[in-house]
Structure 1
Amino acid sequence: MDRPDTTRHQWQVPAGSDRGSKGEPFAATHVVPATGLDSWRTPDAMKAPDGRLDPGTRVQVVERSPSGWARVVCASGGWPVWVDGRRLQEPTESEQAIGMELLSQLKTSLGTYQQLLDDLQAQRIDFDSFRRQAFHAGLVMRDSGALLLDLPSGTWYWYDGIRLHTMGSFLDEEPPPDRAAGSAEG
């Protein structure tokens, strides 16, 4: 397998890479090809891969190197890993439109949550009203599943009708110790 060159270390952060920064929702920029991709914690192809990204996994490129490496985060975990960026595929226009629509829904959800917190603090609503309305604000229905926000932990969850998947927390800076770098859920 032709791996990225590791001799140069001039990194370039692409425009708009702040979309996946702490506190903001994930926005896919690329898709893992049908063959999948090996991933590393550090951009060093001389080491064995630390994990593998599944085919079709949507990722966000947050950093690129001239040698071909790309640092990406996945919607399922948000923890950065390095991959051969030359093999990543750009999503189709319809996938991008769906992603932008979802991002808009998530921002609206967070805005509603903030308004509810302000109303509770100003005593315009009682705690029971806050709790009922906050549940609906943190629930985003999408296709055949739902996104759920657990505000105390800052964690977004995806419910597909069968399982609850952790998408990641916007409060954590480090991945939980039980999450392997490079692992990606469905």
Structure 2
Amino acid sequence: MNAYYWPVELAEGPVGLRPIRQRDRHAWREVNQRNRDWLRPWEATIPPPPPGHLQPRRPTFRQMVRHLRAEAQAGRMMPFVVTYEGRLVGQLTVAGITWGSMCSGNIGYWVDREVAGRGVMPTAVALATDHCFRALGLHRVEICIRPENGPSRRVVEKLGFRPEGVRPRYLHIDGAWRDHLVFALTAEDVPDGLLASWRESRGASQK
């Protein structure tokens, strides 16, 4: 992944995506901690270690950003923060970027409950997906969501991501291995771009 693709800043109206940085620590912690109860059921956790091994510690914010930057520089990830009217309100990561015969990536995200329902996350996902297809040249973008996560499922449903089934015990979340629903789009599904499709559907719903 060269400098043309990353780092990059994307925006649509008041919604923006930009690379996460060390100086986001205070704003990121404030939003994340304030939303702890809302986010906990959906956040990945570290599974128990094998007998005789120590439980790994959760990384600090500095360690997390350092790891995300290294993955971005290696072309395997695009770690964004989500902004709304200039304020940090969440995080969106394109991870698992694979080239060769697959050309795919997966998107994960969370958002401040205070701005949920305003179209912030669908817009952010549309921005990231278009960048994946048009700038990076990926062919497929996938999003995996716990069946119980209604708000996150509404994001992919609004954007027209295709349901593709269940991955049993896919990720360790909230203390156990959890099933996830798989949703995906390929570049052929949105020839005019996902953001254009999202704008059109929002406009139609407001008439």
**TM-score, normalised by the number of residues in structure 2:** 0.24
Structure with higher strand content: 2
Instruction: Work out which structure has the larger RCO, using CA pairs closer than 8 Å and 6 or more positions apart in sequence.
Output: 1
Which protein has the bigger helix share? 2
The structure having more radius of gyration, on CA atoms, is: 1
Give TM-score, length-normalised by structure 1.
0.25
